Structure 1
Amino acid sequence: MQSQTKRLLTAEQLDAMLRRSSGTGCRLEGELTDGWFNSAYRVRLDDGRPAVVKVAPPDGVPVLRYERGIMATEAMVYRQLDAAGGVPQPELIHQGPDFLVISVLDGLPWDKAGGDKADGHEALRHELGRITARLHTVRSPDGRFGYPAPEAGLDGPDWPTAFTAMTEALLADADRWEIQLDHPHAEIRSLVAAGTGALAEVTEPALVHFDLWPGNIFIANRSVTGLIDHERAFYGDPAAELVSLDFGGDTGPASPLVTGYREAGGRLDFTPTLHHRLALYRLYLGLLLVAECGPRGYTDADHIAFSRGMLRDAVRALRELG
């Protein structure tokens, strides 16, 4: 995916960057073009190991507020999940000042391996539910909700405060890039405010990946081999994970994914307030997808229509909740 936030490097620049930071150089094997924010390169390190180098946008390139400092967030999540155990992911080989070096996973991204037609799809969703439950056992180290990067400044002592700040930041981003939303800012604020009581039911800030669509889940031999791209992670309501997980299959109460989640100790009670929160999280993701078209320079009509459609559907659902 082409994006204005991607930094394009030559083989010589990549090698020099790694050598300065880690003492180990690399040989470029190819650019990985599926990412939508960072640039990524498949390389062979001097010691022979295959690896992926993820490079943050160039200094001075405008990004959404929540995206400030998210390369460090991704590295932090790799370390947290490694310490917690039970969540397959790449090895974090090295963290540079504006890049990460991670190991290469076995298999393919789920969307490239057949999506919902992949061999053993239901069993894979069941396994993914169990993995997601283990991911959610990680808690905020300081007890605060929201995005962990201090550069973003989008956290708070409780979930309603943090979520409201996160939404306000996206509204401000839409204004900054002169993106006309299909709904007045005042209506979106009103819908979020009406959900404060439902949001307040969340009292423990769990780690939420918030980008578990099939492209960020690797599979091989009917097994999940790893989760990637942790940079969008925040501390908040574990149920928010269902919004991106829904892109890969059923997330209803009787689904294989939720069954696996509960078997691994995760709690999901599909109460009216949970459905209210899920509608808010769909609103948030829809707003995020629309707003990011500005700094990234997206012009793909299908993607823009999908993003705006998601936002419209969430607004409609929240209106119906009253």
Structure 2
Amino acid sequence: MRTAASARDTSAFVLERITAGTRLRREHDDIIRTALAAYAAAGRQAGQPGEDEGKWVHNSHRATWVREDCVVKVARSPYGETALRRDLEARGRIHAQARWSAWRQLVPRTLAEHATGDRFAVVEERLPGLPLSDLMDDVSLMARVRGRLADLREATSHDVAADDMVSTWFLDPGATVAALLRRHGHRRAAAAVAQWASDVAGSLRGTTCRVALVHGDLWPGNVLLGSRGRLGVIDWDQASFHDAALHDALHLTLHPVRTERRVDLGLLIRSLIVSRDDDPVLSAALARTEVGKFLHDTGITERDALVWYWLRHVDRMTREPGHATNPRWISNNVVAVATTIHQGRRTT
């Protein structure tokens, strides 16, 4: 028998679902209008987007309309708009400045940008090809792609004083990750991470390091492979024009291992630090990153290079809404490596 209280609960649940559905429909219509307006701003004409008008890809922060003639990206959140604007700025800079000319054929040009109300959209050319994430099983192909991208990074590389980079590379992300660990009750691990960042930063002061144009999120899904081996690279919102290339190299190479093993990045990094010598697959994957080349540029150890990559990845991910409050993500990606650093310091 239903009580008055259960009836109220049911009514509240139904009302909440109706409200959520209305909000989603309103957002859907708003995104469609913005996408069509942006498409028109690029000098195109289209009817209402449908099955024959390309496809839509959604995530929490962006809706992407993939058409034959272009790609339209519409922000769904303030973070999504910030990311779109960073991507727009980075791609524009690559195409505008001569020093990055080696990258231009790989980077989509902007066709239009459009702002209306609280929506922001960008239209960019659609590069031909399949995402490399569909081709990761081809080891020789992946090797050729890594080599091509390494050549491009080298073409844009130059030396800088390490003193100018240590805060960005170590001290600031170390402080961010340490604060996150303290908030979740891991004070000793937090102290170990902060001390590691300080120690490595101190070891580099007074030296020079090699930096280059770095994508910042170079997983295989952001690399396109077209006919005759033509490459394309999309989604430049995490780009840096004077950064260490280690992150891109490790990210591109280790992602297939993560996918195959279905593990979070933090758990994979912990395995690489602790037990890679007992795991031929991990050892081979690390060798493919050619991490030694980057160690020569910075003068740090292989273990520290892995921690550095992890630290900056976590620092970046915590800036995206949702990760810093997700207990599972924190456990597998932050605590797993931080406690390994703490244990390593206790035994040295």
Q: TM-score, normalised by structure 1?
A: 0.65
RMSD: 4.4
Displacement of 1:239 in angstroms is 1.8
8 Å Cα contact 2:215-2:239 kept in structure 1: yes
The structure in which a higher percent of residues are helix is 2
2:145 matched residue in structure 1? 127
Cα distance change on mapping 1:312 and 1:133 into 2, 3 Å: farther
CA distance in 1, matches of 2:75, 2:209: 33
Residue 87 of structure 1 contacts residue 226 of structure 1 at CA under 8 Å; is this kept in 2?
A: no
Q: Is the 8 A contact 2:295 2:305 kept in 1?
A: no
| Aligned mates of 1:171, 1:122 — CA distance in 2 | 36
Q: Give the corresponding residue for 2:109.
A: 92
Q: 2:334 aligns with which of 284, 287, 311?
A: 311
- Work out whether residues 26 and 43 of structure 1, in 8 Å CA contact, stay in contact via their aligned partners in 2: no
Matched residue type, 2:62 = N
Check 1:229–1:272 CA distance in 2 against 1; reply closer, same or farther (3 A cut).
same
CA 1:92/1:221 → structure 2, altered by over 3 Å: closer, same or farther?
closer
Do 1:81 and 1:87's aligned partners in 2 also have CA atoms closer than 8 Å?
Answer: no
- 1:187-232: CA deviation from partner (whole Å, max 9, x where unpaired): 4322211210355455344221121112112235683631211111
The residue matched to 2:216 in structure 1 has which SS?
Answer: coil
8 Å Cα contact 2:86/2:238 also seen in 1: yes
Instruction: Say whether the 8 Å CA contact 1:219–1:226 is kept in structure 2.
Output: yes
CA contact (8 A) 1:216 1:229 kept: yes
Distance across 2 between alignment mates of 1:63 and 1:109? 22
TM-score by length of 2: 0.61
Matched residues in 2 for 1:164 and 1:228: separation?
27
* Residue 218 (structure 2) pairs with residue 242 (structure 1): no
SS in 2 for 1:195: helix
Aligned residues: 277
In structure 2, list runs of 5 or more residues that go unmatched: 1-23, 115-119, 258-283
Q: Which whole-Å CA distance do the structure 1 matches of 2:183 and 2:130 have between them?
A: 35
Structure 1 stretches lacking a partner, 5+ long: 45-49, 146-155
More contact order relative to length (CA 8 Å, sep ≥ 6): 1
Give yes or no for contact 1:216–1:228 (8 Å, CA) kept in 2: yes
Corresponding residue number in structure 2 for 1:13: 34
Q: Structure 2 CA distance, aligned partners of 1:95 and 1:174?
A: 39
CA separation of 1:70/1:125 partners in 2, compared to 1, >3 Å: closer, same or farther?
same
Separation in structure 1 between the aligned mates of residue 132 and residue 95 of structure 2, nearest angstrom: 24
| AA aligned opposite 1:312 | V
Identity %: 16
- Counterpart in the other structure of 2:310: 282
Q: Kindly tell me: are residues 270 and 158 of structure 1, through their superposed partners in 2, closer, same or farther at Cα, counting changes over 3 Å?
A: closer
Measure the CA separation in 2 of the matches of 1:188 and 1:308: 15
Q: Secondary structure at the match of 2:296?
A: coil
